[in-house]
Amino acid sequence: MKYSSTRGLQQNLSYNEVLLQGLARDGGLFIPNELPVFTNDELKKMSNLEYTELAAFIINQFSSKCINYNDLLEICKKTYKNFNGKDIAPLKDIGSKNYILELFHGPTWAFKDYAMQFLANDFERILSNNKQNSLILGATSGDTGSAALKAFAGKDNLDIFILFPKSRVSPIQEAQMTSIINEGAYAVQIDGDFDDCQQIVKDLFEDMSFKEKVNLSAVNSINWVRVVPQIVYYFYSAFKCGSPQRPVSFSVPTGNFGNIYAGWCALKMGLPIHKLICASNKNNILTRFFDSGSMERKKVIPSLSPSMDIQVSSNFERLLFELLDRNVLEVKNNLELFKSKGKYDVPLQKLQKLKETFLAYFVDDNQILNEIERVYKLKELIIDPHTACGTFAANTVREKNQIEKDIPIISLACAHPCKFPEAVFKAINIKPMLPEGSQDLLEKDKRSLHSVASIESIKNLILSNRRFN
């Protein structure tokens, strides 16, 4: 399999090259030249695999010429052995063909662990084979940072710097990041919002002299290898609900568009997905886009679901590339408009095509609180504010009869409720407990760096603190 940039400069790269580069040199995102497609018979065979085996089978479609399958299977076993519980991705039935897929049983209690743990192990493979060092740079609106630092800290052949918006992540998320104290691993507070952090990361990747000087790579979902492991749990949960013999739908809390894009990939790979429900909070740029065809940036508003407080959904570029029939000039023009004017539009006929697959709803803070209460009363199940956006959107779709009653809807539970205790307590008067063995998290020693939202400031900070020259 070969990969190319959504903006056209780089074409026909290998899996290993895409893993190490992260972001393309033209600022675009890498995608496969062609997605693999499974037949119905292949899907039936896949439905009998355990999670680790299924992960190796699916990831192998994207990496086969670069990783021996048996080595890949060992990487997957190493990746998921430290997940808690009997099932790596438990599916909870909440009635009326509605389900919650719990994706918070990894080391940092968030769905990011499913891809980040794999990514760290795969980086270790390729850097060891190539006898290289690397510098990892990422931005986080909450969960990516702790997942990345937990996965990459302590690796001998790389340093990692994670930018996060000061005072705009939950106290638990910040404690998870800043309590990871390892040489070469740094959480960096930025005076700004997540979009500022993300833009700095993108700009530094486009600075070729800096990128080559530090051997820069990415762990955000702008890195294609972050997307691939997320495809796995769409197949896994759909099989539990009767696929491929029956279609399923998914409701996905959505900020940066990486998670729901993985679902779109699963659909294109042959999984019978009926609808993908894009669930946003009050920073509803995606809902507005799916309603009007206009992608228009507005001011980020702090909410009860801070990991989705985003107005620049970077992974949407991959879907835009497909929507515009892989026309790199149109993609570049739209993204240049968005960067300069804060807005671009797609033709309405293109939008209608997207609406055959996507439904979109947004949820305000009061609705989040009411939804946490509704689900708790329904099944005594505590969900976090981001998950509540997904279950609210799924319930709205049911009420509007936009999905047939016999088609299951799987809502993705992206974070453990303990990460957002204030919101949960406000909703149901219960403070969710930290997982066993983590009760002292807030009392642990903390370490972080601090910077203004400036490319030069971050560049100097990295050069002053990295281990490798």
What's residue 85's pLDDT? 87
**Is 390 part of any domain?**
yes
Q: How many residues does the chain have?
A: 469
Mean pLDDT throughout 21-44?
95
Catalytic site positions: 112
What's residue 222's pLDDT? 87
Which range marks the domain in which residue 310 is found?
91-108+225-428
pLDDT tens sequence across 375-425 = 999 999 999 999 999 999 999 999 999 999 999 999 999 999 999 999 999
**Is 335 part of any domain?**
yes
In the chain, how many domains are there? 1
**Is 403 part of any domain?**
yes
Read off the pLDDT band of 16 (50, 70, 90).
Answer: very high
What CATH number did the domain enclosing 296 receive? Answer: 3.40.50.1100
Mean pLDDT throughout 237-252?
98
**Is 157 part of any domain?**
no
CA distances from 212 to 21, 199, 217, 469 (A): 10, 19, 10, 11
Read off the pLDDT band of 2 (50, 70, 90).
Answer: very high
State pTM to two decimals: 0.94
Measured distance CA(124)–CA(424) in Å, rounded: 38
**Is 204 part of any domain?**
no
Read off the pLDDT band of 197 (50, 70, 90).
Answer: very high
Sort strands 248-253 and 273-280 into parallel, antiparallel or unpaired. Answer: parallel
What's residue 241's pLDDT? 98
**Is 454 part of any domain?**
no
pLDDT tens sequence across 101-119 = 999 999 999 999 999 999 9
CA distances from 207 to 77, 329, 340, 440, 452 (A): 36, 22, 19, 41, 19
Task: Tell me the one-letter amino acid at 248.
Answer: V
Mean pLDDT throughout 296-318?
94
What's residue 64's pLDDT? 84
Q: What percent of the chain stands above pLDDT 90? A: 93
Least confident of 20-24, 258-262, 289-293, 317-321: 20-24
**Is 103 part of any domain?**
yes
Omega of the bond leading into 244 within 30 degrees of 0 (cis)? yes
**Is 45 part of any domain?**
no
What's residue 425's pLDDT? 98
Residue 111 phi/psi, 5° resolution?
A: -60, -20
